[in-house]
Structure 1
């Protein structure tokens, strides 16, 4: 199963050093039956894009948590696309959690299919989204507009062999 795993640049560096992304369980997003049911008219590519964007929002939350802990990571969302055995993926039974999965074990670097990362110009909007995230969660429409502004930036696609270069 193709799974989209939220990450950060420091997290990606740790995965490269360890030879695997993990440990499990990890939150991820995939084309699940609930996502297919919700997005009735979409083809597989469109559904995978929805899962990718949900993972990008998860990456934003990881960056916010790092920031709250005083850890300064670059304000760039990172999503790792990986091929994970179906037996290692737990699909949420809650239809409101469309696309959400749990990857139960570490994912070897050999199972990564691609990495998606914000380009450098996105950092300003991602930083603003990080600052507005808490207020958006509390229902502030203006803050939600700022958070949604990060989604206006497409994540760039990189092959797995490019990961070392991305981290330098």
Structure 2
């Protein structure tokens, strides 16, 4: 199953350096039967994109944590990162949301199909959105507007073999 894991630049570094990454909450997003049923129409590609966007939004929570002064990621560029991986160790979590799945075990670099990362121009919008992600989830219209600003930025696509070069440029 193709899963979309929310991440940060620091997490991406860990994946490249260690060859694997164990998501701390084991939460990922995917095109699940519940997600498919929640849409009246849409191709598989469109529904997978919806799951990817859910992961990108979850990445904002990780960025908010990474920006705390005590975090080892505090010096990393604040960019949304989504790791797309093909794995079989997945359990559905319809109790959380339509696209949420739980992964069991680490994600190896060999499982990665692609990585999606914000461009540097998105950094101010990412920081602003990370600061209000909880308020947006609680329905604050100003926070939702701020999230809309960051979601206007498309994520760039990178092949797994490009990751060392991408990280060298950061």
Q: Scaled by the length of structure 1, what TM-score is found?
A: 0.91
1:42 is displaced (CA, Å) by: 0.9
Which runs of at least 4 in structure 1 moved beyond 4 Å after TM superposition? Answer: none
1:24 is displaced (CA, Å) by: 6.5
1:62 is paired with a residue of what secondary structure?
helix
Counterparts of 2:62 and 2:32 in 1: how far apart (Å)?
Answer: 23
Corresponding residue for residue 8 of structure 1: 8
1:6 is paired with a residue of what secondary structure?
strand
Counterparts of 2:23 and 2:140 in 1: how far apart (Å)?
Answer: 35
The reply on whether 1:74 has 2:77 as its aligned counterpart is yes
Counterparts of 1:25 and 1:138 in 2: how far apart (Å)?
Answer: 21
Question: Kindly tell me: are residues 123 and 90 of structure 1, through their superposed partners in 2, closer, same or farther at Cα, counting changes over 3 Å?
Answer: same
Contact 1:25 / 1:106 at 8 angstroms: preserved in 2?
no
Moved more, 76-85 or 17-26: 17-26
Structure 1: unaligned runs, 5 residues or longer: none
2:4 is paired with a residue of what secondary structure?
strand
1:167 is paired with a residue of what secondary structure?
helix
Corresponding residue for residue 93 of structure 1: 94
Counterparts of 2:97 and 2:48 in 1: how far apart (Å)?
Answer: 15
Counterparts of 1:138 and 1:100 in 2: how far apart (Å)?
Answer: 19
Contact 1:25 / 1:104 at 8 angstroms: preserved in 2?
no
Contact 1:5 / 1:55 at 8 angstroms: preserved in 2?
yes
The reply on whether 1:153 has 2:156 as its aligned counterpart is no
1:21 is displaced (CA, Å) by: 1.7
1:56 is paired with a residue of what secondary structure?
helix
Measured on the aligned residues, the alpha-carbon RMSD in Å equals 1.6
1:128 is displaced (CA, Å) by: 1.3
1:136 is displaced (CA, Å) by: 2.5
Measured against aligned partners, the alpha-carbon deviations of 1:19-68 in whole angstroms (never above 9, x if no partner) come to 11215761100000110001120110001100100000011111012224
Instruction: Give the length in aligned residue pairs.
Output: 165
Q: Scaled by the length of structure 2, what TM-score is found?
A: 0.90
Counterparts of 2:79 and 2:8 in 1: how far apart (Å)?
Answer: 7
